[in-house]
Amino acid sequence: MIILFDLDGTLIDSTDAILESFHHSFSKHKHDKRKDEEIKALIGYPLDIMFENLGIDEEEVWDMVATYKEHYREISTQKTELLKNAREAVLLAKEFATLGIVTTKTARYSKELMEYFDLMKHFEVLIGREDVQNPKPHAEPILKALEKMDVKNREIWMIGDTKLDIIAAKNANVNSIGVLSGYEDLKSLKEFTNVIFNDVLEATIYLQSRKK
C-alpha cells in the first residue's frame, strides 16, 4: 500500500505561521490588513492564488509571495505544531505502507519542518509547490510523487483535509480519505468523498484494517 499525506490540516497545524506571514506581507507592501478568516478560508491553495483572491494585483503577487516566504521560513518551526495523533499515525502507517507527502507548501520548507519534527525519515518522497507546474486539485503533484515510488500492484491512497486533496486524488485515479482536522468541514468534504474520519490516525487505522 502507498499512503500520500497532505501537510497543513492533515499532519501539521501552521495556521499561526501562515496568518502572521500574510499579515507581515500585507504590512510590508503597505496594503490594508485582511481578516484572519478570509485568509484561513483559502489555506490549501497556492500562495499566489491566495494573494490574488485577497485582492492583490497580478503584477504584485510574486513580490508578496517572496516576502511571505522569507518571513514564514524564520518563524515556521516555532509557530507550527504536529496535529494531535499525527506522529502516531505516521509511525503506524510506516509499518504497513510506503509513505509520501503531497503538499502545496514549498517543498524545501516542508522538508525542514518534517525534519524538525523527526518525521521526514519515514517518507520516501515529498512533492511541494516548486516541483510541479499545476498544484492540487490537478493530478500532477500526486502523479509526480508516484513516479518516484514503486506502484506496481499497490493500493494507493491520498489523505487530506480539503476538497483540493480529494479532487486531486480523483484526477490522479487514486483512492482518497478526507479528515476533519483541518480547514474543510464535514458538509463540504461530503460533496467529494464518503470516506471521512476525524483525524489522520483514524484514517490510518482504517487503512491498516484493509490490509488484514
Give the CATH number of the domain where residue 88 resides: 3.40.50.1000
For residue 56, give the CATH number of its domain.
Answer: 1.10.150.240
Domain shared by 9 and 22, yes or no: no
The type of residue at 198 is N
Residue that terminates a domain, selected from 35, 54, 78: 78
* Structural domain containing residue 134: 2-13+81-210
Q: Cα torsion for 139, 65, 106, 38, to the nearest 10°?
A: -70
Domain shared by 117 and 203, yes or no: yes
Condensed to tens digits (0 to 9), the pLDDT of residues 106-149 reads: 999 899 999 999 999 999 999 999 999 999 999 999 999 999 99
Condensed to tens digits (0 to 9), the pLDDT of residues 195-209 reads: 999 999 999 999 999
pTM: 0.92
Condensed to tens digits (0 to 9), the pLDDT of residues 60-84 reads: 999 999 999 999 999 999 999 999 9
Average pLDDT of the residues of the chain? 95
Number of domains in the chain: 2
Cβ-count burial of 186 within 10 angstroms (0-12 exposed, 13-18 middle, 19+ buried)?
Answer: exposed
The set of catalytic residues is 6
Domain shared by 55 and 120, yes or no: no
Residues 6 or more apart whose Cβ sits within 8 Å of residue 114: 101, 120, 123, 126
C-alpha distances (whole Å) from 66 to each of 5, 19, 40, 60, 195 are 26, 15, 19, 10, 37
- CA neighbours closer than 13 Å in the CB half-sphere of residue 128: 15
Alpha-carbon span 101 to 110, nearest angstrom = 9
Domain shared by 54 and 9, yes or no: no
Give the count of beta carbons closer than 10 Å to the beta carbon of residue 101: 28
Q: Is 121 helix (H, G, I), strand (E, B) or coil?
A: helix
Residues 6 or more apart whose Cβ sits within 8 Å of residue 45: 53, 104, 135, 164
Domain shared by 104 and 158, yes or no: yes
